[in-house]
């Protein structure tokens, strides 16, 4: 990964961190957090974590498959704006991972770690059913 | 044509930004003229109230998001690699993507006119006015989606500029040696990274309310309209500096060259920009003084709002000190730079007045606010942009802008601008409300409004004259040569217009005036330090 790619991705993720912080804050304040079935939520968490491990080990298609399954699973949860927005970012990441050449994939790994962390925060603060 | 559509070269992308901004500037200007025609006399009914609401909403949104931000980004994308001795932006494809996102956002916004329901809730679209029960058409949906696209494009271009400045500087060019325009672009880009996501979050919540029946901003269902105001102004006040700091950077390049002196207090200029950026995140609630926020809250934000005038004032004094004792050449670029100092100071001083809570209570939502914001954004940003256009047009096109037309352009803009907006201070003090399509025939209201409308017409003529000057000079302008102003920064070392690779050879930079060092090997700057 070049220094430029790394710095560029870091800047983008800082912007995303501000974005999700403000969204989660508003959702928490207005009790608009997603409500997740606990076992289902743990399965989704495991899928994203496994996807991140796959990226880390360089298993591109494994990560694509795991995160695609995560998206399908997310679609099965009760609709919430926060998870829908996160899902769009994960979908963009899956498409990017499938199409970009190997040279860009290292920078994309930061993206995956970040959105895995965002999911962990959402899952942590979400209402449990 | 396809060469421009597929362009990733920073110079072409920069020109695309500037051209699109110019087109939207003309559209926003026409919307302003419709408003001024409607307000030319009391009780006029040239346009319906609904159309007037659409006009001021589209005018504000256009000028902020489709003119000020893109044109400054365009100058940054064009000039920063040249100024730091780079051959290209660090992430050229991201640069092109960012431009097209912004342009599509602008086009989407204007498609709302065709849909028959342009947005009509003002450029900051306060909730609950922007909620479905009060704005039932699709206009606000277009507005929010368009701004989301523009936000994405702005963040992309900010990332690109940060990475370029951080990683692509010429050998020897430390951050202590970069031109002040590069400093201001860098700081502005960092501000965009932290400020624009607040707007994006607000827009996502607004769209959720409007399209998915969420309840973030609807008090009837437990939401809070104040949340919109907080989030919007967390973005909105830094936004003012996002569109002013690069303008400061332009002035910091132009005044020294035409005063034949180095900038006074370079470290002070750079650190004051950092201070402005930092403080701008702590002043958002001064836009909300009319809301019952509590005395302590008001006191803190009044103090922080006054505090931000200090680093801004430092800059004004530094520019004056730079001119002091200099061999000043009053080219059109320098005339606009000097006028910028006067006009922006007026806008800054009325801003300090607004930081005083009782004054704000008295004046909020009157024409005093309209006058203030135009003295900051037109008197500040647009005057600096005119200065920058006259200064860098020769580098971009290879031809000089006509100086005679330039002087006509300058005086028409100065006279028209002040006639249009200075009188609005008095209208505000007399109690004329903004964003109301007409007004009663009260003493002075008619006379001051007709002066304002005549001023706006003169201003419009001055701007059209600038467009004519650009078009004529592109074909008939005198050849510029590489360095027509005898300037000092690296962009003037490249050919005019610069070739694809920018520089045949990049010199090692050892001072803040690398071109001076090349021209004066007997007395280079770095030997004086």
Cite the beta strand spans of chain A per DSSP E. 35-36, 127-128
Q: Do A15 and B227 touch (CB under 8 A)?
A: no
* pLDDT tens per residue across span B170-195: 999 999 999 999 999 999 999 999 99
The whole-angstrom separation of Cα B386 and Cα B411 is 12
Q: What is the mean pLDDT of residues A81-108?
A: 89
Phi-psi region of B435 (alpha: psi -120 to 50; beta: other; left: phi over 0): left
Most distant CA atoms of chain A, gap in Å:
44
> Which of B374, B342, B380 has its CA nearest to residue B452?
B374
At B79, list the tokens: 């000039």
* pLDDT tens per residue across span B34-79: 999 999 999 999 999 999 999 999 999 999 999 999 999 999 999 9
Residues of B in contact with A30 (CB under 8 A): 215-216, 222-224, 227
- Residue in A3, A7, A32 nearest the CB of B214: A32
**Owner of token pair 């800082």:** A14
* Closest-approach residue (CA) in chain B for A23: B201
> Which of B484, B499, B496, B493 has its CA nearest to residue B513?
B493
* Residue B161 predicted with pLDDT over 80: yes
Q: What is the pLDDT of residue B87?
A: 94
Q: What is the pLDDT of residue B529?
A: 56
pTM score of the predicted model:
0.95
Give the CA distances from residue B338 to residues B246, B281, B327, in Å, rounded to whole numbers and listed in that order.
16, 29, 14
> Higher-confidence residue: B466 or B115?
B466
The whole-angstrom separation of Cα B141 and Cα B119 is 8
Contact B503, B482 (CB under 8 A): no
Q: How many domains, chain B?
A: 1
- Residue in B167, B205, B227 nearest the CB of A7: B167
The whole-angstrom separation of Cα B286 and Cα B305 is 7
Contact B284, B202 (CB under 8 A): no
For residue A4, list its beta bridge partners. Answer: none
Q: What is the nearest CA distance from B167 to chain A, expressed in angstroms?
A: 7
> pLDDT band at A128, cuts 50/70/90?
low
The whole-angstrom separation of Cα B435 and Cα B367 is 9
CB proximity B284 to A under 8 Å: no
> Which of B191, B124, B199, B180 has its CA nearest to residue B157?
B191
At B129, list the tokens: 């006015």
Task: Give me the CATH topology for the region A3-128.
Answer: 1.20.120
Segment (H or E) for B212? helix B180-212
CB proximity B208 to A under 8 Å: yes
Share of chain B above pLDDT 70, in %: 100
Q: What is the pLDDT of residue B373?
A: 97
Q: Do A8 and B215 touch (CB under 8 A)?
A: no
The whole-angstrom separation of Cα B297 and Cα B293 is 6
Contact B286, B229 (CB under 8 A): no
Q: What is the pLDDT of residue B434?
A: 95
Q: What is the nearest CA distance from A93 to chain B, expressed in angstroms?
A: 16
* pLDDT tens per residue across span B375-415: 999 999 999 999 999 999 999 999 999 999 999 999 999 99
CB proximity B41 to A under 8 Å: no
The whole-angstrom separation of Cα B363 and Cα B367 is 8
* pLDDT tens per residue across span B290-315: 888 888 989 999 999 999 999 999 99
User: Which of B90, B153, B225 to substitute to test the interface with A, most A CBs within 10 Å?
Assistant: B90
> Which of B512, B368, B513 has its CA nearest to residue B431?
B368
* pLDDT tens per residue across span B420-454: 999 999 999 999 999 999 999 999 999 999 999 99
> pLDDT band at A1, cuts 50/70/90?
low
Predicted complex ipTM: 0.94
* pLDDT tens per residue across span B340-355: 999 999 999 999 999 9
> Which of B114, B112, B126, B67 has its CA nearest to residue B463?
B67
The whole-angstrom separation of Cα B435 and Cα B125 is 12
Q: What single-letter DSSP state applies at residue B380?
A: I
Residues of B in contact with A85 (CB under 8 A): 204
Mean pLDDT (chain A, rounded): 90
Q: What is the nearest CA distance from A5 to chain B, expressed in angstroms?
A: 8
Q: Do A30 and B155 touch (CB under 8 A)?
A: no
Q: What is the mean pLDDT of residues B79-93?
A: 96
Q: What is the pLDDT of residue A106?
A: 79
CB proximity B467 to A under 8 Å: no
- Residue in A16, A18, A81 nearest the CB of B214: A81
* Contact residues of A toward B, CB < 8 A: 3-4, 7-8, 11-12, 14-16, 18-19, 22-23, 26, 29-30, 32, 79, 81, 85
Contact B497, B483 (CB under 8 A): no
The whole-angstrom separation of Cα B95 and Cα B286 is 34
CB proximity B110 to A under 8 Å: no
The whole-angstrom separation of Cα B65 and Cα B44 is 30
Torsion B416-B184-B274-B149 (CA) sign: positive
Contact B209, B129 (CB under 8 A): no
Residues of B in contact with A23 (CB under 8 A): 201, 204-205
CB proximity B216 to A under 8 Å: yes
Q: What is the pLDDT of residue B495?
A: 95
> pLDDT band at B527, cuts 50/70/90?
confident
Residues of A in contact with B216 (CB under 8 A): 26, 30, 32
User: Which of B86, B155, B188 to substitute to test the interface with A, most A CBs within 10 Å?
Assistant: B155
Per the structure, the complete domain to which residue B126 belongs is given by: 2-527
- Residue in A7, A12, A15 nearest the CB of B166: A7
Q: What is the mean pLDDT of residues B84-94?
A: 95
Q: What is the nearest CA distance from B222 to chain A, expressed in angstroms?
A: 8
Mean pLDDT (chain B, rounded): 95
Give the CA distances from residue B510 to residues B122, B177, B179, B513, B525, in Å, rounded to whole numbers and listed in that order.
49, 8, 13, 8, 8
At B387, list the tokens: 């200065």
Q: What is the pLDDT of residue A129?
A: 55
User: Which of A11, A20, A32, A100 to substitute to test the interface with B, most B CBs within 10 Å?
Assistant: A11
Q: The domain spanning residue B502 has which CATH number?
A: 1.20.210.10
The whole-angstrom separation of Cα A75 and Cα B268 is 54
User: Which of A3, A6, A8, A96 to substitute to test the interface with B, most B CBs within 10 Å?
Assistant: A8
**Owner of token pair 């963009």:** A92
Q: Do B197 and A11 touch (CB under 8 A)?
A: no
The whole-angstrom separation of Cα B65 and Cα B147 is 8
Give the CA distances from residue B304 to residues A2, A13, B28, B226, B309, in Å, rounded to whole numbers and listed in that order.
40, 29, 32, 20, 9
Q: What single-letter DSSP state applies at residue A78?
A: P
The whole-angstrom separation of Cα B86 and Cα B506 is 8
Bridge pairing between strands A35-36 and A127-128: parallel
At B389, list the tokens: 């256009």
At B60, list the tokens: 């504000």
Segment (H or E) for A111? helix A102-125
Share of chain B above pLDDT 90, in %: 90
CB proximity B160 to A under 8 Å: yes
Q: What is the DSSP string of B430-454?
A: HTPBSS-S-----TTHHHHHHHHHH
Cβ-Cβ contacts under 8 Å between A and B: the total is 70
Residues of A in contact with B227 (CB under 8 A): 26, 29-30
Q: What is the pLDDT of residue B217?
A: 93
Phi-psi region of B502 (alpha: psi -120 to 50; beta: other; left: phi over 0): left
> Which of B234, B14, B210 has its CA nearest to residue B131?
B210
* pLDDT tens per residue across span B113-130: 888 889 999 999 999 999
Give the CA distances from residue B398 to residues B84, B85, B496, B499, in Å, rounded to whole numbers and listed in that order.
20, 19, 5, 11
At A78, list the tokens: 């009760």
The whole-angstrom separation of Cα B392 and Cα B336 is 13
């Amino acid at each position: 990964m070049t220094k430029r790619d790394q710095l560029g991705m870091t800047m983008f993720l800082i912007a995303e961190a501000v974005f999700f912080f403000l969204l989660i804050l508003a959702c928490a304040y207005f009790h608009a957090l997603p409500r997740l079935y606990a076992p289902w939520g743990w399965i989704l968490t495991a899928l994203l974590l496994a996807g991140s491990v796959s990226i880390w080990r360089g298993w591109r298609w494994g990560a694509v498959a795991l995160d695609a399954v995560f998206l399908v699973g997310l679609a099965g949860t009760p609709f919430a704006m926060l998870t829908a927005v996160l899902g769009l970012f994960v979908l963009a990441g899956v498409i990017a991972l499938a199409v970009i050449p190997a040279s860009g994939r290292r920078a994309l790994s930061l993206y995956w770690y970040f959105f895995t962390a965002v999911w962990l925060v959402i899952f942590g603060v979400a209402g449990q059913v | 044509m396809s060469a421009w559509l597929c362009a990733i070269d920073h110079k072409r992308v920069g020109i695309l930004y500037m051209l699109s901004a110019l087109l939207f500037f003309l559209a926003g200007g026409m919307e302003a003229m419709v408003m001024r025609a409607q307000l030319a006399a009391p009780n006029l009914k040239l346009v319906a109230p609904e159309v007037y609401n659409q006009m001021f909403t589209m005018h504000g949104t256009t000028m902020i998001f489709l003119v000020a931000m893109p044109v400054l980004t365009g100058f940054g994308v064009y000039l920063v690699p040249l100024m730091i001795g780079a051959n290209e932006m660090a992430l050229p494809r991201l640069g092109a993507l960012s431009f097209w996102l912004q342009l599509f956002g602008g086009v989407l916004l204007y498609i709302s006119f065709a849909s028959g329901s342009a947005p009509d809730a003002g450029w900051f679209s306060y909730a609950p006015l922007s909620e479905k029960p009060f704005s039932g058409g699709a206009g606000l949906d277009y507005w929010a989606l368009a701004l989301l696209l523009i936000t994405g494009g702005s963040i992309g271009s900010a990332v690109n500029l940060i990475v370029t400045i951080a990683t692509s500087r010429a050998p020897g060019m430390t951050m202590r040696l970069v031109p002040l325009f590069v400093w201001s672009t860098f700081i502005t880009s960092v501000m965009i990274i932290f400020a624009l996501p607040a707007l994006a979050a607000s827009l996502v919540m607004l769209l959720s309310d409007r399209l998915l029946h969420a309840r973030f901003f609807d008090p009837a269902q437990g939401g809070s309209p104040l949340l919109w105001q907080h989030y919007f102004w967390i973005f909105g006040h830094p936004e003012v500096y996002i569109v002013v700091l690069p303008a400061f950077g332009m002035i910091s390049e132009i005044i020294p060259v035409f005063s034949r002196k180095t900038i006074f207090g370079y470290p002070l200029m750079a650190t004051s920009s950092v201070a402005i950026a930092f403080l701008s995140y702590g002043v958002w609630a001064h836009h909300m003084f009319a809301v019952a926020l509590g005395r302590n809250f008001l006191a803190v934000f009044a103090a922080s709002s006054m505090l931000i005038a200090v680093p801004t004032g430092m800059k004004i004094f530094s520019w004056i000190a730079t001119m002091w004792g200099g061999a000043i050449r009053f080219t059109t670029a320098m005339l606009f730079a000097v006028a910028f100092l006067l006009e922006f100071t007026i806008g800054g001083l009325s801003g300090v007045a607004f930081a005083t809570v009782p004054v704000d209570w008295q004046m909020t939502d009157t024409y005093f606010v309209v006058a203030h914001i135009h003295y900051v954004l037109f008197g500040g940003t647009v005057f600096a942009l005119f200065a920058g256009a006259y200064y860098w047009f020769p580098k971009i096109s290879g031809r000089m802008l006509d100086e005679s037309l330039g002087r006509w352009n300058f005086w028409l803009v100065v006279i028209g601008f002040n006639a249009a907006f200075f009188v609005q201070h008095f209208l505000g003090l007399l109690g004329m409300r903004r964003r109301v399509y007409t007004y009663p025939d009260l003493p002075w209201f008619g006379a001051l409004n007709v002066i304002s409308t005549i001023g706006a017409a003169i201003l419009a003529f001055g701007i059209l004259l600038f467009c004519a000057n650009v078009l004529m000079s592109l074909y008939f302008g005198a050849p510029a040569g590489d360095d027509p102003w005898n300037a000092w920064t690296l962009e003037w070392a490249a050919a005019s217009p610069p070739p694809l690779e920018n520089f045949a050879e990049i010199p090692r930079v050892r001072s803040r005036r690398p071109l001076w060092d090349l021209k004066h090997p007997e007395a280079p700057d770095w030997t004086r330090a």
